[in-house]
Amino acid sequence: MKSIVNKPWGSYEIIDQGKNYLAKKITINPKGSLSFQSHDHRSEHWVVVEGQAEVTLENKITNLRENQSIFIPKKTKHMVSNTQNDVLIIVEVWYGEKLSEDDIIRYKDIYGRV
- CATH number of the domain encompassing residue 102: 2.60.120.10
pLDDT score at 1: 53
Q: What is the pTM of this model?
A: 0.93
Residue 18 domain-assigned (yes or no): yes
- The domain containing residue 61 runs over which residues? 4-108
Quote the CA–CA distance of 35 and 105 in Å, as a whole number: 9
Mean pLDDT of 67-95: 98
What is the number of domains present in the chain? 1
Residue 88 domain-assigned (yes or no): yes
Query: What one-character-per-residue DSSP string does 78-94 give?
Result: EEEE--SSS-EEEEEEE
Residue 69 domain-assigned (yes or no): yes
In sequence order, the β-bridge partners of residue 22 are 17, 94
Per-residue pLDDT reduced to its tens digit, 22-49: 999 999 999 999 999 999 999 999 999 9
Residue 114 domain-assigned (yes or no): no
Residue 113 domain-assigned (yes or no): no
Using 50, 70 and 90 to split pLDDT, how confident is the model at 114?
Answer: confident
Q: Please report, as a single letter, which amino acid is at residue 30.
A: P
